[in-house]
Amino acid sequence: MHVLFIEPKFPTNQRQFVRGLQAAGARVTGIGEAPIEHLDDELKGWLYGYEQIGSVCDEGALLDTVRRVQAREWVDRMEATVEAHILPAARVRQAAGIPGTSVETAFLCRDKPAMKEVLRKNGVACAASDGVSSADEARAFAARVGFPIILKPRSGAGAADTERIDNAAQLERAIHAHGIDRGHSVAAEEFVEGHEGFYDTVTVNGEIAHDFMSHYYPGVLEAMRTRWITPYVITTNRLDVAGYDEVKVMGRRVNRALGIGTSATHMEWFFGPKGLKFAEIGCRPPGVSVWDLHSAANEIDLYREWGMAIVHGRAESPPSRRYAAAMVALRPTRDGRISGYEGVEEIQRRYGEAILDAHLPPPGTPTQPIEAGYMANAWVRLRHPDYDALREICGAIGQTIKVYAD
């Protein structure tokens, strides 16, 4: 099978999807923005061919590139795994006659108000939401739902440009800051109180072949706005407990309603006083290399499993469910440059057997804002056979390791 893969070089873990396709037996032609001489030898070794393009989101240029490849040889699939690439790839895929995620599915997984409208019609419990593009619409939504509410981009990912609004004065400031008073359309949502988690799958022909359940501590919006918090993500190995059954049923219903065929998915959910609520879904893998956690926890190569789904229409290796795995984000004390660390040796001594890997940028490295995400600065990844024990270790890391900046 000949597979076109969009942007194999950046972000860094994109190479793993190329490797997974190649390991599953595909010939992979990459389409990316970097010159080929900027690709390292390992990545080049996994690629069958490479086409440079000015922007992979330029649909006209992407279509021209795809048709140039098609003129040379048959193309079976075209895959994208970055949120911003999903819809352009779907439109080009349709124009070029290549099977895969449809434009309708890609749009619904990208546009939050449209997504939730479809899901409500299919019986999926969602927070109240709407698209608002004027000050009056934003005020009317807040009056109807009540504060707090959330404003976010219609097609954003993660917590980027997402804001919690607690009162009318904050809403007026946000209306101007988000450009709503100038006609810019954003997603307005009811704030849902409760615990936040996510459900990841590799889905084949509409059926879930692999699934993984994970938890945020604390929720993403709080984690990405509060420097003193050391947030972490845990993927559990207790997927068979009855408490997750409702999430699994929701996941299958969402996949069917949105027409997801053969694709990775990343579905976020809340559970609190109002019960289980759907948050959003992407027809793509999760960000920040969460698949590395799933792979380590379950002793499989999930990138290859995804490649098997694309190339052969099936999964091959069952997950072991032997471990829970976690990623702990370590925040610098301030923005600036990293000046040093405290507590690293103690954590290594106490929990070294559980540590998978770590990233500790050397002193002098410029810091990134905490809003940039879990892997923006320093981080540690771990696994342990007991979920509760792993949570305790994550808490200990947050209390012990300090990242100083000046």
3-class state of residue 235 by DSSP: strand
Tell me the pLDDT tens digit for each residue of 8-35.
999 999 999 999 999 999 999 999 999 9
Same domain, 83 and 153: no
Residue type, 264: A
Residue 157: per-residue pLDDT: 64
- With a CB cutoff of 8 Å and minimum separation 6, the contacts of 22 are 28, 46, 47, 307
- 244 in a structural domain: yes
- With a CB cutoff of 8 Å and minimum separation 6, the contacts of 340 are 363, 404
Same domain, 199 and 181: no
State yes or no: pLDDT of 40 exceeds 80. Answer: yes
- 80 in a structural domain: yes
Rounded to whole angstroms, how far apart are CA atoms 5 and 23?
Answer: 14
State yes or no: pLDDT of 267 exceeds 70. Answer: yes
Tell me the pLDDT tens digit for each residue of 89-128.
999 999 999 999 999 999 999 999 999 999 999 999 998 8
Same domain, 292 and 326: yes
Same domain, 22 and 96: yes
Q: How confident is the model at residue 159 (pLDDT cuts 50, 70, 90)?
A: low
Ramachandran region, residue 388 (left: φ > 0; alpha: ψ -120 to 50; beta: rest) = alpha
State yes or no: pLDDT of 262 exceeds 90. Answer: yes
* CA distances, 11 to each of 21, 66, 160, 383 (Å): 17, 21, 17, 24
Same domain, 273 and 176: no
CA angle at 265 for the pair 155 and 91, rounded to the nearest 5°: 55
Q: What is the average pLDDT score of the chain? A: 96
Rounded to whole angstroms, how far apart are CA atoms 238 and 241?
Answer: 6
Tell me the pLDDT tens digit for each residue of 166-182.
999 999 999 999 999 99
Same domain, 184 and 199: no
Would you give the end-to-end CA distance of the chain in angstroms? 52
pTM of the model: 0.94
3-class state of residue 241 by DSSP: coil
State yes or no: pLDDT of 158 exceeds 70. Answer: no
Cα-trace Rg, the chain: 22
Q: CA nearest 28: which of 10, 11, 14, 13?
A: 14
DSSP-assigned states of every residue in 78-105: EE--SHHHHHHHHHHHHHHT--SS-HHH
The CATH number of whichever domain residue 27 belongs to comes to 3.40.50.20
- With a CB cutoff of 8 Å and minimum separation 6, the contacts of 334 are 227, 367, 405, 406
- 95 in a structural domain: yes
Among 100, 116, 140, the domain-final residue is 100
Same domain, 239 and 386: yes
Residue 295: per-residue pLDDT: 98
Same domain, 377 and 228: yes
Question: What total number of domains does the chain contain?
Answer: 3
State yes or no: pLDDT of 377 exceeds 90. Answer: yes
Tell me the pLDDT tens digit for each residue of 280-294.
999 999 999 999 999
Tell me the pLDDT tens digit for each residue of 200-259.
999 999 999 999 999 999 999 899 889 999 999 999 999 999 999 999 999 999 999 999
State yes or no: pLDDT of 156 exceeds 80. Answer: no
